[in-house]
Amino acid sequence: MLIDLSRVLSENARIEELTVEIETDHIDTGHSSYRINHKSPFVLKLTNIGIRKILMEVQADISLAIPCDRCLEEVITKFQVNISKEIDLSETEPDPLDEKDFIVGESLDLDRLIHEEILADVPMKVLCKPDCLGICKKCGANRNFTDCGCDSAALDPRMSKILDVFNEYKEV
């Protein structure tokens, strides 16, 4: 959703408060995509603080459905978005190290801003519970719900040749 900033820039000390919904229904991390399970209306406050400078404040709650790293069951992960950024629109040549790709001309791309903020907060590892047993490597059953009976001995693959020798010469 693009929000026009020209009205806020038109007067000194002008304040605009908006309640908006983001349009996106997923967050894409580059290697996976997470469905947005819940999103509250975003409260956006824009304040003109000088010549072509805006103080932007955003507050909202959002939750994503992220798969557990061990068993792949969806885990609802909540994020509280609290953003307070000063935006200087007077810069004619953007700094290549500055991460303001959520500003397009005199418009604010709220979806892009929220995407970047949540992307920075997504945890590296998500578990459905601390003692998650994961899925069986042989049959694919979720071991949290069922005991599949498969042999779960984790053998060192470097020892496979020795195991073959033992299995070949084992007594009947």
pLDDT in tens, 117-144: 888 888 989 999 999 999 988 888 999 9
List 79's β-bridge partners, or say none.
62
Residues 103 and 157 in one domain: no
Question: Mean pLDDT, to the nearest integer, of 107-126?
Answer: 87
Number of domains composing the chain: 2
In which domain, by residue range, is 54 found?
2-121
Residues 104 and 171 in one domain: no
Residues 94 and 53 in one domain: yes
Residue 94, pLDDT > 60, answer no
**Predicted local distance difference test score (pLDDT) of residue 72:** 93
* Cα distance between residue 147 and residue 115, in whole Å: 39
* Cα distance between residue 33 and residue 51, in whole Å: 39
Residues 68 and 106 in one domain: yes
**Predicted local distance difference test score (pLDDT) of residue 10:** 83
Please list, residue by residue across 61-87, b when 16 or more beta carbons sit within 10 angstroms of its beta carbon and e when fewer do.
Answer: ebbbebebebbebebebebebeeeeeb
- What token pair was written down for 55? 């103080």
Look at residue 168 and tell me if it is in a domain.
yes
* Cα distance between residue 22 and residue 31, in whole Å: 22
Residues 19 and 102 in one domain: yes
The residue among 57, 45, 32 whose CA lies nearest residue 119 is: 32
Residues 70 and 151 in one domain: no
Look at residue 99 and tell me if it is in a domain.
yes
Look at residue 127 and tell me if it is in a domain.
no
Question: In this predicted model, what pLDDT tens digit does every residue of 138-161 receive, in sequence order?
Answer: 888 999 999 888 876 767 778 778
Residues 58 and 8 in one domain: yes
Residues 83 and 108 in one domain: yes
